[in-house]
Amino acid sequence: MADKTATLTIGDTNLELPMYSPSAGPDVIDITKLYAQGNVFTYDPGFTSTASCDSTITFIDGDKGELLHRGYPIDQLASDSHYLEVCYLLLYGELPSAAQLEDFESRVTNHTMLHEQMMNFFRGFRRDAHPMAVMTGVVGAMSAFYHDSTDISDPWQREVASIRLIAKMPTIAAMAYKYTIGQPFVYPRNDLDYAANFLRMCFAVPAEDYQVNPILSRAMDRIFTLHADHEQNASTSTVRLASSSGANPFACIAAGIACLWGPAHGGANQACLEMLQEIGTPDRIPEYIARAKDKDDPFRLMGFGHRVYKNFDPRAKVMKQSADEVLDLLGIENNPVLQVAKELEAAALADPYFTEKKLFPNVDFYSGIILEAMGFPTSMFTPIFAVSRTVGWISQWKEMIVDPKMKIGRPRQLYMGATLRDYVDIEKR
């Protein structure tokens, strides 16, 4: 792969390091032999300049605000495709034929039910448990119920585990929601598509029929599509690192769910809506802008900024359009929270602090507004993100498992602690 070299001068030694040219994005310098040849480590907390792997799945150009899944731009996929077709694309690398899509959707549909005994697992949680805590536990526990798809060396078991996870995540998320509100679980239906099934499992009650609003299920499907994969983000890197030890896929996805929960990552959609609700009215926006800019105040504008995008997050643009459509159709176009969101966005983007630091709305800025309008509590926002991102985690996991370069991930460190010293008896301390 190396088509160039980089010369690194350390003292009076010149090291020649291989460089690779990607199909898109910056060249990379291969430092795998740096420690052996130069007896030095590189230092990159937060991995701001480090490629952890080579991948063919998703490409992000942060400056252009571009997001491609297997080369297809996210705005085209969001408007012309649908979530399960994007799942197929992410998993297998190409858009499916009609027959391939029908077979894939049928396999997913026929795996949406959860092992009946797992219901007891839910009942071990307090009713006020956060749904993300429930999902982390239940998905990890899947390795105790689906032993016939935990051997990662068996391609068939990897395929079954992939389909099971994609199929069962909406069921688990809906059950986590139902459990916390004290309503009975609603089983999946095979005559509904992925998004409609999820909405029905969340909002139907046995006491009456539930008709899924096609506009809401289309918006739900679009939210799933927009969150499906995003290169080597924190939770995907967590899944890759957990998988590098050979851990089973359910344990690795549970690790990804746990990481996604953080407010700097997938938890931002819940934190963002709560921030918009706390701001409450447009006249309070300047107070919060000032707090976000105050170095002594840890407050940050949730839903703003991104490690990679130094331009608009392309998903935020599509999400903003969806927010307008959904609220308009629900007759709540003058939703006060959406009003605050739009005026906050305008105020922040007129402020040099945000434009100079390239802090633009990200995927989480508008998603919460749509989800709240659909009737979800804020505690369900990140679980919905986790449902969608499962296909991204699984696709990256599958890519890594078959990579001949794969080895256990084991970063080193810049050690700044005490050097060798002898133990001191307590009487002498």
DSSP for 211-237, please give it: PPPHHHHHHHHHHHHHTS--SS-HHHH
CB of 30 to ligand SDX, least distance (A): 23
| Known active-site residue 306 | yes
Buried b (16+ CB within 10 A) or exposed e, 162-195: bbbbbbbbbbbbbbbbbbbeeeeebebeeebbbb
**Phi, psi at 2, each rounded to 5°:** -65, 125
CB of 341 to ligand SDX, least distance (A): 13
The answer to whether residue 361 forms part of the interface with ligand SDX (CB under 6 A) is no
The answer to whether residue 364 forms part of the interface with ligand SDX (CB under 6 A) is yes
| Known active-site residue 147 | no
The interface region with ligand SDX, picked from 6-14, 354-362, 400-408, 413-421 by CB under 6 A, is 354-362
Active-site residue identified among 364, 403, 422, 425 = 364
Which residue among 307, 312, 343, 401 contacts ligand SDX (CB under 6 A)?
307
The strand pair at 28-29 and 58-61 is best described as unpaired
The answer to whether residue 303 forms part of the interface with ligand SDX (CB under 6 A) is yes
* Residue 85 or 364 with smaller CB distance to ligand SDX: 364
CB of 361 to ligand SDX, least distance (A): 9
* Residue 223 or 359 with smaller CB distance to ligand SDX: 359
The answer to whether residue 233 forms part of the interface with ligand SDX (CB under 6 A) is yes
Which residue among 189, 218, 300, 310 contacts ligand SDX (CB under 6 A)?
300
Query: How far apart (Å, rounded) are the C-alpha atoms in residues 269 and 302?
Result: 8
The answer to whether residue 158 forms part of the interface with ligand SDX (CB under 6 A) is no
Both tokens of 73, joined, read 């731009």
Active-site residue identified among 306, 324, 403, 425 = 306
CB of 355 to ligand SDX, least distance (A): 12
Size of the site for ligand SDX (CB under 6 A): 22
Query: How far apart (Å, rounded) are the C-alpha atoms in residues 87 and 229?
Result: 9
CA 33 to chain centroid: 32
DSSP for 115-181, please give it: PTTHHHHHTTS-TT--HHHHHHHHHHHGGGT-GGG--TT-HHHHHHHHHHHHHHHHHHHHHHHHHHT
CB of 331 to ligand SDX, least distance (A): 29
The answer to whether residue 146 forms part of the interface with ligand SDX (CB under 6 A) is no
* Residue 124 or 411 with smaller CB distance to ligand SDX: 411
| Bridge partners (DSSP) listed for residue 66 | 61
The strand pair at 58-61 and 66-69 is best described as antiparallel
The answer to whether residue 306 forms part of the interface with ligand SDX (CB under 6 A) is yes
Task: Give 145: exposed, middle or buried? Use CB within 10 Å, 0-12, 13-18, 19+.
Answer: middle
The answer to whether residue 225 forms part of the interface with ligand SDX (CB under 6 A) is no
The answer to whether residue 390 forms part of the interface with ligand SDX (CB under 6 A) is no
* Residue 179 or 393 with smaller CB distance to ligand SDX: 393
Query: How far apart (Å, rounded) are the C-alpha atoms in residues 201 and 173?
Result: 9
Query: How far apart (Å, rounded) are the C-alpha atoms in residues 366 and 321?
Result: 9
Which residue among 338, 363, 386, 400 contacts ligand SDX (CB under 6 A)?
363
Span 252-271, contacts to ligand SDX by CB under 6 A: 264-266, 268
CB of 303 to ligand SDX, least distance (A): 5
* Residue 160 or 359 with smaller CB distance to ligand SDX: 359
| Bridge partners (DSSP) listed for residue 8 | 15
CB of 277 to ligand SDX, least distance (A): 16
* Residue 200 or 389 with smaller CB distance to ligand SDX: 389
Based on DSSP, count helices (H) and strands (E) in the chain, helices before strands: 18, 6
Query: How far apart (Å, rounded) are the C-alpha atoms in residues 125 and 337?
Result: 32
Query: How far apart (Å, rounded) are the C-alpha atoms in residues 297 and 304?
Result: 16
* Residue 248 or 367 with smaller CB distance to ligand SDX: 367
By annotation, the residues acting in catalysis are 306, 364
Q: Residue numbers of the site for ligand SDX (CB under 6 A)?
A: 230, 233-234, 264-266, 268, 292, 300-308, 357, 359, 362-364
